[in-house]
Amino acid sequence: MKRDSIWNQSFEDLARWCRHEGLPAYRARQVFNWLYSRNAAQWQEMTDLPQSLRQRLDECFSVDLPHIIHRQTDPEDGTEKLLIQLTDGKQVETVVIPRDGKEDEGFTVCVSTQVGCTFACRFCATGRMGLVRDLQAGEIVAQVLLAQRLGKAVKRVVLMGMGEPLHNYENVSGAFNILCGKEGLGWSPRRITCSTVGLVPEIYRLAQDAPGVKLAVSLHGTTDQKRSEIAPIAQVYTLDRLFEALRYYHERDKRRISFEYLLIRGVNDGIRDANRLVELLRGLVCHVNLIPNNRIPKSEYTRPSGQVVTRFVEILEKGGVTVTVRASKGRGISGACGQLATESRSRESITTMDV
């Protein structure tokens, strides 16, 4: 009999299972405490549960996490990229980044939400894979747990890895519930940033369902035409529709919105682009992360010069926009923005039991 993964069960799911089994409700809380607070890796470790219950749980649920099959570390900044194999053999990449470049400051984990992506942004290696499948809620959370089992003090999670998070809305929402629920990891939602290329209906849903989760919008263009050349989804959701949704999000959350703006030489890095961006953001409480393009294979896009980046920053700052040039951590291991894409090649196997 195929067992469900315990990591895909919400607390409510497990509580219902306990009721069905004739068990008191507190057993579900005990199990979640072992999983998320005490890092149990086997049912037999849960010593305050009756042996009969541990056996029944083992019959119904697998407690195995996905396997880390390869690890790479960028010698320049200490960023680590994990190639993770899921139970069906599909693979995703997860990036573990030292905060402020210092391990003693803790780590940010950049998690994937899909195997591949359907939106085919032209700067993104993941988009060239097409969409293979969504990740389940537990597979999203598992990437955080695996980083913790490597001894990383995870302080923050960004949903900026492979896939479009809001295209996998239900599972991403389920992951938020586990990460932030008091029976799960119990995090403040402020520790989580959800990125989107601009799925307007789901931005409205997120505003209602996940107050406190930070929103980062991949903008990359200041006109509908230019933006759609870079991110084709802009043909469906125009800037007018997108910014209407963002204003609604801000009114609900009262927190600033982040914009990711990839600077591509000769495409969106000009003076007119910078001035249009100032006008586009006027009146919105926000922050812009400028990201000089990270090269991917077979792409015509390149990085602008440092002088062009500096000029772009100066125009935004003069226009009253808060802006940061993001350091592209993990470029040396193809772990930076836009570079994630699983590859089939022989690697030394490293399982979760090894780390």
Specify the CATH number for the domain of residue 226: 3.20.20.70
Examine the fold and report which residue of 62, 80, 98 is the final residue of a domain before the chain moves on.
Answer: 62
- pLDDT attached to residue 343: 55
pTM of the model: 0.91
Same domain, 19 and 103: no
In terms of domains, do 121 and 28 share one? no
Q: What's the confidence (pLDDT) of residue 110?
A: 95
Q: What is the pLDDT of residue 279?
A: 97
Please tell me whether residue 249 adopts helix, strand or coil conformation. Answer: helix
Q: Are residues 214 and 339 in the same domain?
A: yes
User: Which candidate in 80, 93, 139, 260 is catalytic?
Assistant: 93
Q: Total domain count for the chain?
A: 2
Q: Same domain for 202 and 346? A: yes
- Tell me the average pLDDT across 303-323: 97
Co-location of 19 and 108 in the same domain? no
Which burial class, exposed, middle or buried, applies to 219 when counting CB atoms under 10 A from its CB (0-12, 13-18, 19+)?
Answer: buried
What is the CATH number for 12? 1.10.150.530
| Residue 114 vs residues 142, 162, 204, 347: alpha-carbon distances, Å | 13, 6, 21, 22
Q: Which residue has the tokens 């469906």?
A: 236
**Would you say residue 200 has pLDDT above 50?**
yes
Residue 340: which pLDDT band, with cuts at 50, 70 and 90?
low
Q: Give residue 349's pLDDT.
A: 39
Q: Are residues 39 and 91 in the same domain?
A: no
| Owning domain of residue 18 | 4-62
Q: Is 52 in the same domain as 91?
A: no
pLDDT at 324 over 90: yes
* Contact assessment for residue 200 and residue 237, using Cβ atoms and an 8 Å cutoff: yes
Q: Is 93 a catalytic residue?
A: yes
Instruction: For residue 117, give the nearest of 335, 293, 337, 340 by alpha carbon.
Output: 340
- 36 and 49 in a single domain? The answer is yes
Which is the catalytic residue, given 110, 117, 286, 337?
337
Q: Kindly report, residue by residue over 225-239, the tens digit of the pLDDT.
A: 999 999 999 999 999
Same domain, 93 and 171: yes
Q: How confident is the model at residue 348 (pLDDT cuts 50, 70, 90)?
A: very low
CB of 61 closer than 8 Å to CB of 3: yes
Nearest CA-CA partner of 246 in 281, 210, 203, 205: 203
End residue of a domain, out of 62, 87, 103: 62
Supply the pLDDT for residue 183. Answer: 92
**pLDDT tens for residues 63-87?**
999 999 999 998 888 999 999 999 9
- Do residues 103 and 16 both lie within one domain? no
Q: Are 30 and 123 contained in the same domain?
A: no
9 and 137 fall within a common domain: no
Give the residue from 93, 98, 87 showing the smallest Cα distance to 329.
Answer: 98
- pLDDT above 60: residue 350: no
Whole-number Å distance between alpha carbons of 203 and 218? 13
Question: What span, in angstroms and rounded, lies between the C-alpha atoms of 252 and 215?
Answer: 12
In this prediction, residue 147 carries a pLDDT of 96
